[in-house]
A = this chain, B = another copy of it.
Amino acid sequence: MVAPIQENLVSKNKAYASSFTEGHLALPPAKKYAVLTCMDARIDPAAAYGINLGDAHVIRNAGASAKDALRSLVISEQLLGTEEILLIKHTGCGMLTFKNEDAVGILRKNLGEEATGQLEAFKGDFQPFPDLDQGVKDDVEYLKGSKLIREKIKISGWVYEVETGKVRSVV
């Protein structure tokens, strides 16, 4: 038996593929940029940020963490020719609502000591941030300071408002 979530993927994809006409697109992003944003379910980057298919890399993780995205951004820039990064965090982000010790406490309770020992995989850092605009500035700073990202790469920071669908410039 196929689970409903998987059924949804198969049936919706069948409809999508039946009218698909973009099989000719090249691997490197046509507009040479990368967008880094949050995994949050309320964000549709293609629609909300105006990204046409084939135009940009889209990297998403919990909180739009620049540190977490570094490997992907280096590949995007060094191997696939992108020259600009839009870093977009958002209002109502889950990462604004807890501290590392809270998350570790929940894991210890739910999964036991053995599991929390495996947090080393990401250095035990869930990367929460207490202030939205400061979080955007800090992550842009992190990327500008990294020797793995060339100085000529344009990096800007933004906030997306899940309540209104609007983006605003931060840095």
Contact = CB atoms under 8 A, between A and B. Distances in A.
A56 B146 CA distance: 32
B80 A57 contact: no
A70 to B, nearest CB: 5
Given A23-B162, A39-B72, A60-B59, A50 B80 contact: no
Q: How many copies altogether?
A: 2
Interface in A20-63: 20, 22-23, 25, 27-31, 33-34, 39-44, 46-50, 53-62
Contact of A57 (B22, B40, B70, B79): B40
A155 to B, nearest CB: 11
A103 B121 contact: no
Interface of A: 3, 5-6, 8-17, 20, 22-23, 25, 27-31, 33-34, 39-44, 46-50, 53-62, 65, 67-72, 74-76, 78-80, 84, 86, 92, 94-95, 98, 103, 106-107, 110-111, 114-115, 117-119, 121-122, 125-127, 146-148, 150, 154, 156, 158, 162-167, 169
